[in-house]
Amino acid sequence: MTEKNNSAEKLLSKALEKTSEVKKELELAEDELAVAHAVLETKLAKAAHEAEVGHAVDATAVAKKRVGKSAKQLDDVKAVLKDAGGKDAKSD
């Protein structure tokens, strides 16, 4: 039975580690989207807005919110995994 516990602990630890990695990548993507959105919004506001440009501005705003929400959801998953037995895993 301890072999199964050790295996489960290793899986939980690996899941926690991967969750942290994905969260960091999402946070970087969120930052990059924020910059792209700011540039599109400010630089293109002075130019004539074509439908495609307006859509691109809106899409970056939506994508930034989704990435931020995903990062928060990963935090929630990490908390659940820690509660399930991965308390010894590294925290970020």
Residue 88 lies in a domain: no
Residue 92 lies in a domain: no
| Total count of domains within the chain | 1
Look at residue 82 and tell me whether its pLDDT is greater than 60: yes
Residue 74 lies in a domain: yes
Residue 52 lies in a domain: yes
Residue 91 lies in a domain: no
Residue 72 lies in a domain: yes
Residue 20 lies in a domain: yes
Strand residue runs (E) in 5-78: none
The whole domain housing 75 covers: 2-83
Q: What is the 3-state secondary structure (H, E, C) of 25-59?
A: HHHHHHHHHHHHHHHHHHHHHCCCCCHHHHHHHHH
User: How far is 59 from 67, CA to CA, in rounded Å?
Assistant: 12
What is the residue whose two structure tokens read 């959105």?
A: 37
CB 8 within 8 A of CB 80: no
Compute the mean pLDDT over every residue in the chain, rounded to the nearest whole number: 79
pLDDT tens digits, one per residue of 25-39: 888 888 888 888 887
pTM (2 decimals)?
0.59
Residue 37 lies in a domain: yes
pLDDT tens digits, one per residue of 45-61: 666 566 667 777 788 88
